[in-house]
Amino acid sequence: MILVTGGAGYIGSHTNKALNKVGYDTVVLDNLEKGYESFVKWGEFVNDDIGSKSIESIFKNNDIDAVMHFAAFSSVAESVEQPQKYLKNNYKNTLNLLQMMREYGVDKFIFSSTAAVYGNPESIPITENQELKPINPYGHSKFITEKALEREAEKGDFNYVSLRYFNAAGCDFDCEVGELHDPETHLIPLVLDAASGIRDSISIFGTDYDTPDGTCIRDYIHVNDLADAHIKAYEYLKDGNSSEVFNLGNGQGYSVKEVIDTCKKVTGKDFKVNLDERREGDPGILIADSSKINEKLGWSPKYDLETIIDSAWKWHEKINGI
């Protein structure tokens, strides 16, 4: 049995589906603060908080072999306004989970980390051994949790894989689960809102970056590719391998303008694009070097930007009744 914390959220629900499809049993733990019970279509569901002592019953009542830990807050902007909230949920509550694992002898942990641990990278593409210099409380909360995992592994009888996601995007091709944030802050769903007329326009945050068209470049990775990496990470630990940290990206960068143009092409819709000021805390370019996970786990991304946007558009049409 695999415990999937945050399995009612965006990446957690896609991974929970993928795990069940290949025959793993799961129990999903989510407090539904950001997640949706309707996204838990596979495995058992427990509505509780990872910081609560009561989660002990999950470990008591199930034969948990590993924990995949998605439950976390993930908005950079919110973390700047409420750093304590991020410290408590993302860091301190993870310590509660780790303590519970230790008490019940659960020794495999797969952690949702982020490219935000790098801050402004020294060079592009980013390799895992670059210095970690997070520039916002969200990135910092994930950074110190990675450090806690290192210490836990040093104690022995515990191994983890930390997966540093770049820009998770796209949705389940069957539209059984998808991306639904409130408020939405991510580029692709917001552009699709403009394409369908839910919003009257999309704003580009900054046109004076040191990039070919002046807009920020990001590495968009399909959520199913992330889900696949989690399964490979679990099997790697199950085979008795020791702790590792991996980047997860496509290795290809797209500018905000290129994403908007691809959305126009995929949807066949035109819409208004505003040129706006930079958003605080946005690095100009983030592109992953994911060769380490390719070499060690045989993982490689399957889906390109057009497929990512097409899957997000189908989900967008479904939830908005288009």
Contact range with ligand UFG by CB under 6 A, out of 100-108, 174-182, 197-205, 262-270: 197-205
- In the bound complex, which residue of the shown chain has the CB atom lying closest to ligand UFG? 216
- Tell me whether residue 234 or residue 254 sits nearer to ligand UFG (CB atom): 254
Residues ≥6 apart with Cβ < 8 Å to 188: 169, 170, 220, 259, 263, 308, 309, 312
Residue 202 Cβ vs ligand UFG, minimum distance, rounded to whole Å: 6
Rule CB under 6 A: choose which of 2, 27, 50, 116 binds ligand UFG: 116
Task: Check binding of 89 to ligand UFG (CB under 6 A).
Answer: no
Q: Which is nearer to ligand UFG, 116 or 233 (CB)?
A: 116
Query: Please, which of residues 117-156 interact with ligand UFG by CB under 6 A?
Result: 138
Residue whose CB is less far from ligand UFG, 176 or 258: 258
Distances (CA, A) of 93 to 98, 260, 298: 9, 37, 32
Q: Measured from the CB of residue 89, what is the shortest distance to ligand UFG in angstroms?
A: 14
Sign of CA dihedral 128, 153, 12, 96: negative
Stretch that binds ligand UFG, among 64-72, 85-93, 185-193, 235-243 (CB under 6 A): 185-193
Task: Measure the CA–CA gap between 37 and 189, rounded to whole angstroms.
Answer: 21
SS (H, E, C) 30-56: ECCCCCCHHHCCCCEEEECCCCCHHHH
Q: Which among 90-98, 144-152, 199-207, 239-247 is the span making contact with ligand UFG, rule CB under 6 A?
A: 199-207
Report the residue number, 26 or 290, with the smaller CB distance to ligand UFG.
290
* 45 closest CA partner among 89, 96, 1, 8: 8
If phi > 0 it is left, if psi is from -120 to 50 it is alpha, else beta; for residue 169 that is beta
Number of shown-chain residues binding ligand UFG (CB under 6 A) = 22
β 254-255/217-218 pair status: antiparallel
- Of 52 and 185, the one with the shorter C-beta distance to ligand UFG is 185
Q: How far is the CB of 281 from ligand UFG (least distance, A)?
A: 8
Strand order in the sheet with 108-114: 44-47, 26-30, 2-5, 66-69, 108-114, 159-165, 244-248
* Least distance between ligand UFG and beta carbon 34 (Å): 12
Choice between 136 and 243, CB closer to ligand UFG:
136
Encoded tokens for 16: 């929970």
- For residues 35 and 42, what is the distance between their CA atoms, to the nearest angstrom? 15
**Rounded to the nearest 5 degrees, what angle is found at the Cα of 53, between the Cα atoms of 48 and 59?**
75
Q: C-beta of 118: minimal distance to ligand UFG in Å?
A: 8
Q: Does 115 bind ligand UFG (CB under 6 A)?
A: yes
Query: Does residue 285 belong to the site contacting ligand UFG (CB under 6 A)?
Result: no
Would you state the structure tokens that stand for residue 37, as one six-digit string?
A: 């019970």
**Contact pattern from residue 205 through residue 244 relative to ligand UFG, giving x for each residue in contact according to CB under 6 A and a dash for the rest:** x----------x-x--------------------------
Closest separation in Å from C-beta 147 to ligand UFG: 17
Positions marked active-site: 138
Using CA atoms, how far apart are residues 111 and 223, in angstroms rounded to an integer? Answer: 15
Among 41, 102, 186, 199, binds ligand UFG (CB under 6 A): 186
| Spatial separation of the C-alpha atoms in residues 60 and 55, rounded to whole Å | 9
* Joined tokens for residue 119: 């801050």
Residue identified by tokens 């104690």 is 155
List interacting residues with ligand UFG (CB under 6 A): 74, 76, 114-116, 138, 166-167, 185-187, 190, 202-205, 216, 218, 256, 279, 282, 286
